Chain A
């Protein structure tokens, strides 16, 4: 029962380190949603200025149509736009210039004519790109109206009755999603798979605190000059390691929950339509997070034990964190299971991959694979603990500088 003493001491000691805890818990929990609020607030505060220079007198109505449609589209996308229509060149700097040259109306009125417009965006303006694509959509609508008019003209001339909608859309495309099992996916499953990607990315923030706390628990104690006395007591090295690991896991888990909640709130705020979550997905994500914290503590311990100082342990831990970040960041864009076999095999050797896969396998209804992911994580944990116990060398811990 010596482990009771170690765990009690570690938890008490860590809980008294209020500054570190506050930095690890409150900053991501409050900071990330605050960043999202700030970013969306600033985005909303921006107004994109569009200048439509109409050099063709007959195209004024078209310019007005473009302007009203653009304002309506922008409003629908949460963007503000200010459109100026004039027949003279602009005297100020605008985000976007749309120039309708002389002869435009005449060209589009001719059945074989091609109207030309010039669309110019201000360099380096992110919002210009969004408004530019909206202008292209509005121009597409104008284009559609021109084609409909031309088809109707030809129909009248030829006497052939034409359904303009079918004429313009000869192929109907029905889209849908299906699961790896072959069954059709429901809308809810599609939305959940999107949420799962974001949750997989947030796993990085789950793994991180355990790395920090485990390093401090062993090498921080060495640097605070309390470790030598502790290892001279009858507490076995297994007890010391497991006790420290347990305490780091508890604090790491609390911190990880706060961190990942902060990330989820942040992602919900920046993701259009927010995150769709179900009780099952929350439960699986929580279980994966808990297992990930335990596994990370077990993996990082041998590295900490072989490091000569907290600084060198942090440097090595940074490498582990980068691997975790690479895996979880790539889950935003990459389907690990769809990669070429040899790349997938390499990724499966990395323990962090299985945490991400467990979530995606749950969402895709591949429960057996999800259980295998958990078993692999448990195996990595046990290997980490075994290596840690073998790597515990009191001489190295005391003498190395």
Chain B
């Protein structure tokens, strides 16, 4: 483990996330309608759903950036409504449609977050930066260029590297390959697989069922703010008597809603 990061493990449970009947309204619109969810330590858990299903809101609640209205939620043993600061120490988060600091170089982007995660300790920060550079698979030359000059794939790899260089226990990636070409998307999936083998929990939101099938240890279907199904990819396909996850998702949604 890297210095400077002591990861707590809630010994009372095997789950890094436990959500019970989570409700959330934004303005007048109810986005989450009683979400129940359990995510195990060390797994790659994909939250699959259509656009507007509530994935991003759920992620923001898990990260402690939005407060849920009612229900019970434990993230790494902490309630995000009360202990966002504690969770943030062990969290890596890449929101959908986020961007690196485009006027800063790749190295400088890593350095900003390395200094935050190391609490200003230069030596630890240097180790984080080195690790981030390795994770990103960007060359030294690329990392010395301004991030604004990067391709979308390079930006996304930098963002993910920046989010996981401090070895967090929980990583939330919202649509990590959205809008990327096939090579960039492949590299990111490979990166997630490699990182998860070291015990990090990855929660990935996507509307791409093929990607979900490739990545997920376990999957949760979400539609219109409600959880429709949670289990392994294999059991999802079997339970919905489908040939693949895409068909399973469509059947799962079709059972509850007219689509």
Tell me whether A2 and B98 are in contact in the complex, defined as CB-CB below 8 angstroms, given that A228-B65, A232-B91, A233-B88 are known contacts: no
Chain B window 75-91, contacts with chain A (Cβ cutoff 8 Å), 1 for yes, 0 for no: 00000000011001101
Instruction: Report the bound CA distance from A32 to B100 in whole Å.
Output: 37
Q: How many residues of A contact B (CB 8 A)?
A: 27
Q: Contact between B98 and A398 (Cβ–Cβ < 8 Å)?
A: no
Q: How far is the CB of B32 from chain A (nearest CB, A)?
A: 13
Interface mask (A1-15 → B, CB under 8 Å = 1, otherwise 0): 111111011001100
A5 lies within 8 A of B98 (CB): no
B111-119, B227-235, B242-250 - the one binding chain A? B111-119
CB within 8 Å of B: which A71-127 residues: none
A2: chain B residues at CB < 8 Å are: 115-116, 119-120
B10 interface residue (CB < 8 Å to A): no
Interface pair B65/A231, CB less than 8 Å apart: yes
B103 contacts across to A, CB distance below 8 A: 12-13, 16-17
Of A1, A13, A226, A399, the residue contacting B98 (CB under 8 A) is: A226
For A225, A229, A236, the residue with the greatest tally of chain B CB atoms inside 10 Å of its CB is A229
Q: Which of B85, B95, B102, B114 is within 8 Å of A228, CB to CB?
A: B95
The yes or no answer to A188 lying at the interface (CB within 8 A) is: no
With A and B bound together, what is the CA distance between A1 and B4 in angstroms?
A: 14
Which listed residue (B91, B98, B121) contacts A225, Cβ 8 A? B98
CB distance from A237 to the nearest CB of B (A): 9
| Residues A394 and B65 in contact, CB atoms below 8 Å apart | yes
CB of B150, distance to nearest CB on chain A (Å): 14
- Known contacts A1-B121, A228-B65; is-contact A16 B104 (Cβ 8 Å): yes
Q: Contacts A1-B119, A236-B85 hold; do A229 and B104 have CB atoms under 8 A apart?
A: no
A392 to B165, CA, bound (A): 28
> Smallest CB–CB gap between A396 and chain B, Å?
10
A338 within 8 A of B: no
Q: How far is the CB of A111 from chain B (nearest CB, A)?
A: 85
Q: How far is the CA of A226 from the CA of B94 in the complex (A)?
A: 10
CA distance A13 to B91 in the complex (A): 25
Assess the B108–A12 pair: CB atoms within 8 A.
yes
A8-B112, A225-B99, A234-B85 given; A13·B119 CB < 8 A: no
B94 touches A395 (CB 8 A): no
Which chain B residues border A236 with CB–CB below 8 Å? 85
Give the residues in chain A near B146, CB-CB below 8 Å. 16
Interface flag for A224 (CB, 8 Å): yes
CB distance from B105 to the nearest CB of A (A): 9
Among A1-44, those with CB < 8 Å from B are: 1-6, 8-9, 12-13, 16-17
A235 within 8 A of B: yes
Residues of B in contact with A (beta carbons under 8 Å apart): 26, 60, 63-67, 84-85, 88-89, 91, 93-95, 97-104, 108, 111-117, 119-121, 146, 159, 162-163
Q: A5-B113, A8-B115 are in contact. List 18 more A-B contacts (CB 8 A).
A: A1-B115, A1-B121, A2-B116, A4-B115, A5-B114, A5-B116, A6-B116, A13-B103, A225-B97, A226-B98, A229-B98, A229-B159, A232-B65, A234-B85, A234-B119, A395-B66, A395-B67, A399-B66
* For the complex of A and B, 6 pairs with smallest distance between CB atoms: A1-B120, A5-B115, A16-B103, A225-B99, A232-B93, A9-B112
23 CB-based A-B contacts, threshold 8 Å: A1-B119, A1-B120, A4-B115, A4-B120, A5-B112, A9-B101, A13-B101, A13-B104, A224-B99, A225-B97, A225-B98, A226-B98, A226-B100, A226-B101, A228-B98, A232-B63, A232-B65, A233-B88, A234-B116, A394-B84, A395-B67, A399-B26, A399-B66
